[in-house]
Structure 1
Amino acid sequence: MHPAVEPPVTVIRELRAALDQAFSAPGADARADELLAGGGAGLPDAHPAILDHDAVRAADPLGLDREFGELPAVNAAGDARTLLGWVRTAARRGDPGWAAEDAVAALRDAGMLLASLGRAGVDPSVAAPEWEPLLTAWALRTDMVPRDTVVHYGFWNPVGDRERRFLDRGPQEGALIQSVRTSCRLLPLAGTALDVSWRCGPTSPAGLAALAVMRDAVVAFAGEFARVRQIVDPHFFIEKLRPFFEPITVAGNPWSGPAAAFIPLYLVDEALWGGGEALAAMHAEALRYGRPEWRRARERMAARPALSTWLEAGERGDHTPELATALELTDSAVHALLRFRGQHVTTARRAYSDQDSAFRHGSGGFVPEDLKRVVDDERAAATGLHAAEQRAGA
């Protein structure tokens, strides 16, 4: 049982251990939620119960483990009849009153089946309208959208033989799923570390230790994307996987499918370097499809100036070794994000440049030039930050 408020040094030690151990300790994901919810100070007494993520991954509330083992072959055959049978049978097993963990798992599994049905050419909202009240109830129970998201597809996907996939057991889809698992851990951890740094003072010893954790988490996130880029061919994604990520209609409203644009970069970007109009539009949409804990944390962080802006203002005053270190750590994190975004733009352009492709935008609704505008804004912020770092270190 953790106390309501943790000393900063204890929190920083926990964040560092989670990062170094790749969240392998039992309950690590739930503990990370507690720290994020408490702004790096533990879990406030009034906060809702933390989700048991391990229970979500273990859950099979719709009884579909066997069907998911067969789903790649059924999808390869485009067997709409089998998919429709599974969808209708699973709907009869659904319970709108399920607790949060089962509701999350049900959204994950139902969403993947409905997406598969849509890819086979059958509109699930027409062929299986019985899903609408179930999806709506589970969305209300979990405070999320009424379908599967990138978080369901990656972070809450079982590991091992029960992993849910649209395609076969080849390395490419598996690498994408794992990258989402990793990103949904590293980015909230980086956001918590930023919270701790503000709580302590970014140039205090504890604040600098927290910034070092933040920097390492962001660098690890960028490295994960670089790794996936070496495994996943953009044309494989656009031709094989992208058709499963089309919108589905629930209660008359279209809801986007899992999208890389919806990973929780909003827990880092504005707090770290500020953002711009292009990023604000992208993050506003991503927040709709994110976890409620992430939305609450982002709202809390929005009250502060960007760390880079605060440090640059400090640099115009007295130069101290601590300020120089804080600028160096922040600059390193911003440049890691820039490397990621530059690679993302290149990959997106390759994926969506094929004139024969049916797709011209990502599953989140954005086009490569939207990503490029964010890169331009961040590069401008990075230039000013780097100049301040150079002056402080002179």
Structure 2
Amino acid sequence: MHSAPFSVEVSVTSLSQENEYISNLDPLKADQLIHKLPFLNQKKDTIELVLLLVDIMPSMNEIHTFDKYQANAAIRDIGFLLGSLKRHQVEPVNIIPELEDKMNLMGEKSGLPPRDTLLHYTVWNPTDFRRRTYTGTQDEQFLIESVVVAMEPLVRCIILLRNLHLTSLSSPEFKIICQEIVALFENVIEGIVIARRKVSPSYFANELRFYFDPIILNNREYLGPGAVEMPMFVFDHLLWSSDCQDEEYRIFKETYLPYIHPEMRNIYLEFENKSSMVSKVCRLADGQVEFNSIILDSLKSLSSCCRLLKSFRMPHKKIAEEAYAHTKKQDLTFTTNENTHRNHGSGGYSTDILTHILNLTNQKIDMLEICISNFQAPESGRNISRN
């Protein structure tokens, strides 16, 4: 059994080390076998896919010896076969009933659902010649890379936002942390740029996304890997939405909460039903008797974080709309219940949810901008403080 090579504390370093550690593991000895997948998927050879899944599937005794890192590496490799079978309209558990107990045990060890997630598909996926793919295409390689590029900077931003909640608005450190978030978030946007430029919307809509369909285990659906499992909603949660009363967005966040890293999930729960950063600073600024240039700098720096979030939301929404537009074109020719289902994402949401989230984001940004305007207005009556 492998031992953990790092502290379990929430830190970027530990999570980055975890990504590398899991991606290097091959507990099912699947490195060579898994590279058959693109060929088998091209042939739609479900019999060989089932045989390959049976071949790499560990016994219950083996699973009991796994630590959480080995369990996640095993789920990763099994997940590629589950997604492949489901893409070819085979429900895996109907063919291999013992799959359920084994996936449940590995899921329990991993602290994640009993199937693969975006983490398994991207940051826990080996690099170079060991990388697992469904199709072997450049589009899929760039799809994976777009998430890998964005994930660690996003995690860093979330941890910095958590620190920001503990930092005084009147401290120069507040502005410094905001500037660090802005610099890092540019890399998150770079991930979107890669996806936009390198992944064909038509190919994603009509081929790749079907590998991420939900599967049935325990008489319920478990969602497949998807960009929506990026912990962007945790970033939102800390920045502006932890106190958002919108029921649709609350349900959306809670749908995907089980699928994100347990440490990110813990941070989300830590701030549940508490004031968001935007609400907190607006309340503090409105109650400030004296005008303070440091507080104004802090407010403007937080506004920069919010505006950058908006610059992420717009291209993300555009990519999703382009993908689903291609899906709808296909559905004009092939109208089936399955295609109707696939006009929505794997979680059952259409692109309308992205418009809704963007509108909610803009409302909170507007609230902050009004707060800044009021704070620095001469008619506010605040005394000038240079501290």
TM-score (norm 1): 0.83
* 2:316 counterpart letter in structure 1: H
Match of 2:73 among 95, 100, 105: 105
* 2:282 counterpart letter in structure 1: E
What is aligned with 2:313? 341
1:149/1:325 CA distance change after superposition, 3 Å: same
What is aligned with 2:275? 305
* 1:80 counterpart letter in structure 2: T
Secondary structure of the corresponding residue to residue 63 of structure 2: coil
Match of 1:65 among 31, 43, 58: 31
Contact 1:197 1:208 in 2 (8 A): no
Structure 1: distance between partners of 2:19 and 2:102: 21
Match of 2:215 among 224, 243, 248: 248
Moved more, 99-108 or 302-311: 302-311
1:182/1:203 CA distance change after superposition, 3 Å: farther
Match of 2:237 among 263, 270, 277: 270
Secondary structure of the corresponding residue to residue 254 of structure 1: strand
Contact 2:76 2:120 in 1 (8 A): yes
Match of 1:180 among 130, 134, 147: 147
1:356 maps onto 2:330 in alignment: yes
Structure 1: distance between partners of 2:21 and 2:237: 32
Alignment of 1:40-119 (within 5 A): 52-92=18-58, 95-97=62-64, 98-119=66-87
1:214: how far off? 2.0
1:140/1:51 CA distance change after superposition, 3 Å: farther
Question: What is the CA RMSD across the aligned residues, in angstroms?
Answer: 2.4
* 1:312 counterpart letter in structure 2: C
1:303: how far off? 5.3
- 1:37-88 deviations in Å (ceiling 9; x for gaps): 9xxxx99xxxxx9983322101111111112222112111111121111011
1:382 maps onto 2:365 in alignment: yes
What is aligned with 1:325? 297
Alignment of 1:116-195 (within 5 A): 116-170=84-138, 172-195=139-162
Contact 2:10 2:263 in 1 (8 A): no
Structure 2 unaligned segments of length 5 or more: list them: 332-338, 378-387
Moved more, 70-79 or 316-325: 316-325
Structure 1: distance between partners of 2:277 and 2:370: 15
1:337/1:168 CA distance change after superposition, 3 Å: same
Structure 1 unaligned segments of length 5 or more: list them: 1-28, 44-48
Contact 1:62 1:106 in 2 (8 A): yes
Give the length in aligned residue pairs: 355
- 1:95-119 deviations in Å (ceiling 9; x for gaps): 2211111100011110111110121
Contact 1:53 1:101 in 2 (8 A): no
Structure 1: distance between partners of 2:169 and 2:162: 10
Structure 2: distance between partners of 1:319 and 1:155: 46
1:115/1:319 CA distance change after superposition, 3 Å: same
Contact 1:149 1:257 in 2 (8 A): yes
TM-score (norm 2): 0.85
What is aligned with 1:290? 260
Structure 1: distance between partners of 2:18 and 2:189: 27
* 1:322 counterpart letter in structure 2: I
Contact 1:320 1:392 in 2 (8 A): no
* 1:306 counterpart letter in structure 2: S
Structure 2: distance between partners of 1:265 and 1:279: 13
Structure 2: distance between partners of 1:82 and 1:381: 52
Contact 1:112 1:166 in 2 (8 A): yes
* 2:191 counterpart letter in structure 1: E
* 1:370 counterpart letter in structure 2: I
Q: Percent of counterpart pairs with the same letter?
A: 24
1:134: how far off? 1.2
Match of 2:195 among 228, 235, 241: 228
What is aligned with 2:179? 212
